[in-house]
Amino acid sequence: MRRAIVLLLLLPATAAAAPARAPDTEPALDGTPYLFRNADGLVRLVFRTDSPLPKRFDGTIGGGAIIAGHVAPIGTVGDCYTAAARFRARIGRRYHVLIATQESAPAAFDLRLALRRARPGDARGRPLGC
């Protein structure tokens, strides 16, 4: 009986001493990312996240994107992010896109996006409200 009472008294103390888990800070996509081709032949990816992407020590964004096997660094356009690669691409075809939000981390987003023609405001992220 004494052992049961001692265990019951120790249980809340050990539960309070356990460290709290850090909240999951992995950003999530906000809106639908899109691919379009500029007049200069660049295939651009534009996406938005619910929280800012982490930056490196020099102020650049640590992650990167891979568009149809072509590596592309991530830049900013307003509140959105963009990546661009130059390759022969066809309008209407779906391309595999990987987005890594942190340097040396696996891809956080694995997408298949259809390439479309550029519309007014695409480069500034207007469809996502950037």
Identify which of 81, 98, 101, 104 has the alpha carbon closest to the alpha carbon of residue 25: 101
Q: Which residues contact 103 (CB under 8 A, 6 or more apart)?
A: 56, 62, 63, 64
Two structure tokens written together for 101 = 């939000």
| DSSP state, residue 127 | G
- Report, as an integer, the average pLDDT of 101-124: 88
Determine the Cα–Cα distance for residues 1 and 104; give it in Å rounded to an integer. Answer: 55
pTM of the model as a whole: 0.76
Q: Which domains does the chain have, with CATH numbers?
A: 22-128 (2.60.40.2450)
Express each pLDDT in 4-29 by its tens digit: 554 455 555 544 554 555 555 678 88
